[in-house]
Structure 1
Amino acid sequence: MLKNIFNKSAIRPALVAVPVSVAIGSMVALFLVLLNWAIHFRFGHIWLLYLLPLAGIGIHFLYKLYGSSAGRGNDLIIDEIHEPGAGVPKRMAPLILITTVITHLFGGSAGREGTAVQIGGSVANWLADVFKLDGEGRKLLLTAGIAAGFGAVFGTPITGAMFAIEVLTVGRLKHDALIPCLVGGLVGHLTVWAWSVPHTHYHIDVTPADYRFYGYQLHLNFMLMLKAAVAAICFGVVSYGFARATHLVKDSFARLVKISWLIPAFGGVVIVLLTFIIGKPDYLSLGVAPEYPGAITIPSAFYPGGADASSWIWKLVYTSITLGTGFKGGEVTPLFYIGATLGNALAGVMSAPVSLFAALGFIGVFCGATKTPIACTIMGWELFGPQYLIYFAVVCLVAYLSSGKVGIYSAQRRR
């Protein structure tokens, strides 16, 4: 294993990953600034939601005219790492950045990870040509590009590195990519930090610790662990449902609507009608910043009463329709929302700590949908601290095992 990690063929991609990750981190920083502007601009101009169907049509034609193979998104990058040949077009980065901002400007329920990963893959592939990398070197740099994009967009550099390695093939790790990916994740994250672009911070209310590990206090309680394991089964089942729902929406609209540009238009109309029926805009867009005082968001789910019992269902429906009908963005932040609000609801049923179960749902649903239990355990450490690491590990493992074989990335391979 160590021989694979320090393979000579990985040294040059690791060195090249430094300037590549600076470029990726800078582009992700720009994306985060534009995304924040778009979301808050819509907050001040709520009528923009009515134009969501037209925005969907615009996104469709942008990809039809300029997208080429870029419309395959993350799956194209994963396929290119497995079997190089088709290439990752340079236009993927600016196109996904622009169309994701459009999606959020008009209220579509999507995330940002897909955008960051596609920026990472596109920039890495372009600079692989500049630095004359091909074969295994190009594969490693593309993988490092994924790590840089993911680490930069969420402020989780180690998670970004492990996610890039783990997401390619379920149950198998690409050890020779570890050093390039660590470089990519760290440099991408530090670049966003250097641009002074902030990330959302979360907090678990600390309870008295029962165990110490290398100076850290770890909370360990058998009954609470049992409750967390039961909740993890729910997280895995819901992540499976999310993956199937998105595929179902996409296939159903493709079968029922023969004029392709009408698919995002109908998707936008459904989102607008759902918002009227529910009577509040809480499930639009990213779900991190509150549109009004008391709105249900990911941070609010960490507090008692911060989410409704049905919040996770509505976010799942909104996001499946948004992404399944052709709007752009990512799945991961909506998965965080679904998981955190589901954890909030389960905490009430199980008489468990709300903030802890929101955090467990946050990483658990993400884990089940992406099949990346190691990366998600590390994400728990990076975002919420090491005190509950044992819970993070158990929940991610159980969610992974109970989420079935269907994930959100169709190009992901199985061992």
Structure 2
Amino acid sequence: MIAAAAQARLPSILRWTAILVPLAAVVGTASAFFLWALDAVTRLRFANPWLLFLLPVGGLLVGMIYQRVGKSAAGGNNLLIDEIHQPGAGVPRRMAPLILFGTLVTHLFGGSAGREGTAVQMGGSIAAAFARMLALDAASVRIVLMAGVAAGFGSIFGTPVAGAVFALEVLVVGRVQYDALIPCFFASLLADWTCRFWGIGHTHYQIELLPPGALPDPWLMGKVMLASAAFGLAALLFSTLSHRLADAFKTYVPRPELRPVVGGILVIALFFLAGTSDYLGLGVLAEHPDSITLPALFTSTGIPASAWAWKLLFTVITLSAGFKGGEVTPLFFIGAALGNALGTVLGAPVDLFAGIGFVAIFAGATNTPLASIFLGMELFGAENGLYIATACIIAYACSGSKGIYSAQRLPSSHN
């Protein structure tokens, strides 16, 4: 009986293997190229600080290109979520090259943005191209798109489990789409392997681990719970400001290609107000030895308590104005910076609080607590898993249901 069941499933297994292996290889290769190019344009900006003053010009260029040829591709992550829920006009092939180019322009000129949105959109666009080429039915298209999202997320951060769970969890608040679990997991895993095969490494963060078998400290757990509520409120602030400022840009700057021009001018003004370039760009590489970077937030105790708020403002203005990129890495920076500040105030380990802030604010802003827990364990180790899980769950509960993705649906009897 078991042999008969396995034999009956063999054609389906072979079919999905034939789809997922090349899909993951292409997405992983695209992520590898993107990470290499992102590093290159960031270092080019470091070597030429005057490039910041061309940010409005870069924004105008990208805005005009999207206006002329972007069309539905401008929907970004929300278009992908809508297409997974209910396939319609489809995800255009041009989404991948457009988002890649737009994001590199954003980072070249100093806009504060991330990389997750770019990787996810490239993954979704490549997956949609595979689906069209293979003439897949609607149900298969949905799964292939989810696998593309998982592959993009997993390969860009080097976290294949979190990538798979993110693709399953992000669609509906409080629901996980388990029907695509196996395709998403293998696509994410294979894409991550492919990215690493090309010699692309990922940033490592170090947190002191609990000794094996040790129980969490109840007093420290109380501090974690208190800080986690703050992470959830920070996620709510980020999401709310992002939506409201995007609406304000649409109201007061009706022409879409001009919104990044205004946003670029505002980012330059913020640069002078902050008096530092540390909040520009991705926030991972150090322009100067004493720069505030994401890795430094895990080890340094002299970080300004306002660092998280500055990064939040830089990022919200950049993305709300229409610059391309993702929200997630800036959210990591914001959460780690807030965790650094709270750890200092509460007399708690700064590395641990930077780590839980890193993932907790992501959980709150994206409504994906399970993916965030796996993300934390893949990045920081499972030994501090109880602290990580506590932070993600409380932040998610405190952030409300309205996250950064407007296409994300609330649960209903039809989901």
Q: Is the 8 A contact 2:209 2:381 kept in 1?
A: no
What residue in structure 2 maps to residue 308 of structure 1?
Answer: 304
- Counterpart for residue 126 of structure 1: 129
> CA distance change for structure 1 residues 7 and 115 in 2, over 3 Å: closer, same or farther?
farther
Provide the secondary structure at the position in 2 that maps to 1:205: coil
Q: Which amino acid aligns with 1:411?
A: A
How far the C-alpha of 1:307 sits from its partner, in A, is 2.3
1:369 aligns with 2:365: yes
**CA separation of 1:88/1:305 partners in 2, compared to 1, >3 Å: closer, same or farther?**
same
The equivalent residue for 2:79 is: 76
1:151 aligns with 2:157: no
How far apart are 1:277 and its partner, in Å? 1.7
Question: 2:219: which partner in 1?
Answer: 223
The aligned residue for residue 31 of structure 2 is 28
Q: Distance in 2 between matches of 1:283 and 1:32?
A: 19
Q: Does 1:241 align with 2:244?
A: no
Cα offsets for 1:372-396 (capped at 9, x unmatched)? 1111000111000111001111111
- 1:7–1:176 CA contact under 8 A, matched in 2: no
Matched, 1:18 2:21: yes
SS of match in other structure, 2:256: coil
How far does residue 100 in structure 1 lie from its aligned partner after superposition? 0.2
- Is 1:174 the equivalent of 2:170? no
Residue 136 (1) aligns with residue 139 (2): yes
Structure 1 residue 41 corresponds to structure 2 residue 61: no
| Equivalent position to 2:254, from 253, 258, 275 | 258
**1:397 alignment partner AA:** I
C-alpha displacement of 1:16 = 1.0
Distance, in Å, in 1 between the alignment partners of 2:163 and 2:288 is 32
Aligned to 1:95, the other structure's residue is in SS state helix
Q: Which residue of 2 aligns with 1:414?
A: 410
- 1:356 corresponds in structure 2 to 352
Partner of 2:188: 185
The alpha-carbon deviation at position 313 of structure 1 amounts to 0.3
Q: Deviations over 1:345-402 (max 9, x none)?
A: 0001110000000000000000000111111000111000111001111111101100
Alpha-carbon distance change, 260 to 144 in structure 1, aligned in 2, over 3 angstroms: closer
Equivalent position SS for 2:288: coil
Shift of 1:9: 10
Amino acid at match of 1:305: T
1:281: which partner in 2? Answer: 277
Do the aligned partners of 1:26 and 1:191 also contact (CA within 8 Å) in 2?
yes
1:225 to 1:45, Cα distance in 2 relative to 1, 3 A = same
Identify if the C-alpha distance between structure 1 residues 362 and 56 changes in structure 2 by more than 3 Å, giving closer, same or farther. Answer: same
Q: Which of 269-278 and 151-160 deviates more?
A: 269-278
Structure 1 range deviating more: 14-23 or 389-398: 14-23
In 2 relative to 1, CA 352–10 (structure 1 residues): closer, same or farther, beyond 3 Å? Answer: farther
**Contact 1:165/1:173, CA 8 A, preserved across alignment:** yes
Which amino acid in 1 is paired with 2:368?
T
Q: Secondary structure at the match of 1:413?
A: coil
| Secondary structure, counterpart of 1:261 in structure 2 | helix
Cα distance between partner residues in 1 of 2:252 and 2:123: 35
| Comparing 250-259 and 29-38, the one that deviates more | 250-259
The answer as to whether partners of 2:206 and 2:351 remain within 8 angstroms in 1 is yes
Write the distance in 1 (CA, Å) between the matches of 2:9 and 2:314.
45
* Residue identity opposite 1:193 in structure 2: R
Normalising by structure 1, we get a TM-score of 0.95
CA distance, structure 2, for counterparts of residue 226 and residue 406 of structure 1? 27
Partner residue of 1:58? 61
Secondary structure of the 1:411 match is coil
2:329 to 320, 327, 333: 333
**Is the CA contact 1:237–1:402 (under 8 Å) kept in the aligned structure 2?**
yes
Structure 1 residues 43 and 7, CA, compared in 2 at 3 Å: closer, same or farther? farther
1:129 is displaced (CA, Å) by: 1.6
Q: Does 1:294 pair with 2:287?
A: no
Between the two proteins, the alignment pairs up a number of residues equal to 404
Q: Structure 1 CA distance, aligned partners of 2:71 and 2:84?
A: 19
Matches within 5 A, 1:106-117: 106-117=109-120
Determine if contact 1:14/1:179 at 8 Å carries over to the other structure: no
Aligned to 2:202, which of 186, 199, 204? 199
Which residues of structure 1 form unaligned runs of 5+? 213-217
- The percent of aligned pairs where both chains have the same amino acid is 49
Cα 1:9–1:269 shift into 2, 3 Å: farther
**AA at the equivalent of 1:162:** V
1:55–1:103 Cα contact (<8 Å) kept = yes
CA deviations on 1:44-77 (whole Å, 9 max, x unpaired) are 0000000000111011001011101000100000
1:306 to partner: Cα distance: 5.0
CA distance in 1, matches of 2:343, 2:299: 10
* Structure-2 residue corresponding to 1:215: none
1:105 is the counterpart of 2:108:
yes
Secondary structure in 2 matching 1:173: coil
Instruction: For 1:291, give the aligned amino acid.
Output: E
| Cα distance between partner residues in 2 of 1:29 and 1:64 | 28
Contact 1:103–1:110 (8 Å) recurs in 2: yes
The question of 1:267 aligning with 2:267 is answered no
Do 1:13 and 1:138's aligned partners in 2 also have CA atoms closer than 8 Å?
Answer: no
Structure 2 unmatched ranges of 5 or more? none
**RMSD value over aligned CA atoms?**
1.6
